[in-house]
Chain A
């Protein structure tokens, strides 16, 4: 499979805590993206990091990329109950956009 892998598969935390999700991939990439999916809905783009970048911030989101290890992490700081969702990494290799298996995040109030 060309899919990336995400770790952990599920994560449960208390509101206010930080949540970290990791993504590993197998090929050389042009960029890596993170998406969010609420239950029963389509995916929504969160952030994109290019292969020549190492870290990127957007609001409470922080993404890192280590191309030597073929891995990325998504940190959500000061989590809220509304952050409960599934989070997917996705990467461009050629014209394809390939997704990881996702992390299910539950934030308890």
Chain B
């Protein structure tokens, strides 16, 4: 399917476990972003990538790791999940710098 897809849609994991959230886009967009959305904080940027093999920290990168070996994929890994990482995670992509971003449907992660 064309577009941007996230998987899984819902995930429950235990504290201390590693978990990876997947993001895949079919447009060959250069830019990709990971956000977390929490009540009272809006969307906060975790990491972003301007191209394959180029990633940069956003506002709240601690506890997260990203990679981008292929243009279309941008996985987000929580190396040792904590309860404070319970959130809704959104992946987005954009074709060029300073253009509109397209969002996935989100992954609701609960860390127990």
Contacts and interface: CB of A to CB of B under 8 A. Distances in A.
- Specify whether A and B are partners: yes
B interface, over-half SS? strand
A1 B59 contact: yes
A43 B103 CA distance: 6
B90 A42 contact: yes
Question: Chain A interface: which size bin?
Answer: 20 to 34
Given A42-B106, A43-B90, A95-B48, A88 B100 contact: no
Interface stretch (B12-20, B39-47, B62-70, B71-79): B39-47
Question: Chain B interface: which size bin?
Answer: 20 to 34
Nearest to A48: B100
Interface of B: 31, 33, 35, 40-45, 48, 50, 56, 58-59, 90, 92, 94, 97-106
Interface of A: 1-3, 6, 30-31, 33, 35, 40-45, 48, 88, 90, 92, 95-102
7 contacts: A40-B106, A41-B105, A42-B106, A45-B102, A96-B56, A97-B33, A99-B35
